[in-house]
Structure 1
């Protein structure tokens, strides 16, 4: 233990791509990153400025967009830098920060998706009491609970993971510091910790899933009893976007963290991790924006306002010129018709 090297740099082996295809993959990941960050920031901006979107559902959706932006910014910038640089090292401290942010964001998003299902349950099953049951104070408490649950998981797992002695090879067979990939390098018995982490992951999946399954069971029962076809269609439209995101995100998380390691290889782990750390944050705003009339309406309204503003600025610049009057050291505006 005297030669313990826990505080030295790690080496990220990356996606292990062929050198001939690395340029194409780099361009694809860069485009996805730019689209994801832009789409999520636009969603946050629209929800903030449009009064029609000042509802509990869109408030929770704005929190989801914040999480997705932080989520993809935790791993992808480092991946892009490593793909074009020879040195693929990451410091011990940076690796710990990446683990904390990654675990916090994925945990917070798991809880938030469960709470969004509760919001849909109240909207469909108790529409008259919706303003009371989902008031501003309740929404803030739900969002704070999701962030607290994710950060609690990060504060619990990160110090334990980084406290193990890493005396063997420091080459992480992954493109970011993921806990299972790092634990393979530890020169100490990690079986008890892996069991604890497994139980923690199962609980973090089961608690939101129980909320989601209960909420949608009640929603399906309520929709089945509806006589109005229009009401059934509206309820289905309201819930379908959320169910699509839940299926994608929870499916990938279940594969990576609940299935035993014997059922998947490190290469498969990297593919699945790349899917839900790179692709999923892009799908969330696209699914909600393309399938939501309110969001598309707010976006069209914003584009119209920006277009009118640009036209007014152009007209102002075109028909107002500055002319220097001889003999006077001043300028005055003259309007032409």
Structure 2
């Protein structure tokens, strides 16, 4: 209470640096680990691209021979979005330097009779397998980008032909599933003779990637994308960046401790005088040392409580709002980090006041 301003500076410096370090060292790896655990064991880890129509049967047989239970080859077409409700397409959110006109931009789409896996129907109804009506199903994010709703019409150029489809459903795609997903799905019965190739995603056990080599040799046009290798590389990059940032945050925590020491030096004369008076009145050296430890222990405890609470709250908000994960705060690791903060505060306080407490009362009082 006597040094309120300095106490606030010490508290803020230590708690902010400790909170940043906890976010990077505890919450960040927890988010990455939970994302990995959410993926089922049979999550697709390979993509086949650019499969031609006359190669579909042979490729499917090859995949079944490798142990892929249901090789799902889906049509992959590229066209242009010509109009929305008869007007040129305009995005509702336009980036800086972009006119928002998508009339000349390619649109990737697919078509099917049944509702796609790894998708959730949000609005409308998906078409029947037996109908050939010109219907379209739009992914939620893509619909919001153009302000498209149920009943709107989309005019697409499919090769040399233009066709108009009515939006009858809006769905949400689970992009984390690593399945083949499209923003625009069309009713297969209304597509006609649109040009396309085939794409597939499937799971191969670790170490079986070499089995794809014969397929690539037999069909040189087919491209294989190995997700496991990409994810491993991304994980390595993330870990290296996290280690570098944690090192920087470690210096930040050291800076917070230096704030404590600087504040001690600023009040060294006052503390020296207080210590001399108390010792003159009969206080023992152990009592003064205990008072210092209680003071900086309380300061470290307050900083640790603030840092741990802030790291837990920020971690939960970030996981739910940005990554759509239900992260439970890793309390044991957070509390261990808070205990380290308290220990640092005690060590800094004790080392900064040790020389002050050893000053003889007579010498301290003579300076005043």
For the aligned pair, the TM-score class normalised by the smaller chain equals under 0.3
Larger radius of gyration: 2
TM-score by length of 1: 0.26
- Bigger fraction of residues in strand: 2
- Bigger fraction of residues in helix: 1
